Amino acid sequence: MIALSDDAAPPVPHRKLGPGRLVIASHNQGKVREIGDLLRPYGIETVSAAELDLPEPEETGTTFAANAELKARAAADLSGLPALADDSGLCVEALGGDPGIFSARWAGPSKDFAVAMEKVHDAILATGPDAGRDAHFVCALSLCWPDGHIETFEGRADGTLVWPPRGEHGFGYDAMFLPLGATETYGEIDPDAKHAISHRAAAFNLLTAAVF
Ligand X SMILES: O=c1nc[nH]c2c1ncn2[C@H]1C[C@H](O)[C@@H](COP(=O)(O)OP(=O)(O)OP(=O)(O)O)O1
Question: Closer to ligand X at the Cβ: 4 or 75?
Answer: 75
103 contacts ligand X (rule: CB under 6 A): yes
| Shortest Cβ 41–ligand X spacing (Å) | 19
Q: Is 194 annotated as a binding residue?
A: yes
Considering CB distances under 5 to 8 angstroms, the limit depending on partner class, which of Mg ion, ligand X, none binds residue 26?
ligand X
Tell me if 79 is assigned to a ligand binding site.
no
* Annotated binding-site residue? 174: yes
Regarding 86 and contact with ligand X (CB under 6 A), the answer is yes
Site for ligand X in 116-175 (CB under 6 A): 137, 170-174
Distances (CA, A) of 204 to 21, 37, 174: 18, 11, 18
Output the CA angle 208-209-212, nearest 5 degrees: 55
Q: Please give the positions annotated as active site.
A: 87
Residue 30 annotated as binding site? yes
Detail the residues annotated as belonging to a binding site for Mg(2+): 58, 87
Name the site residues for ligand X (rule: CB under 6 A): 26-28, 31, 56, 59, 71, 86-90, 103-104, 137, 170-174, 186, 198, 200
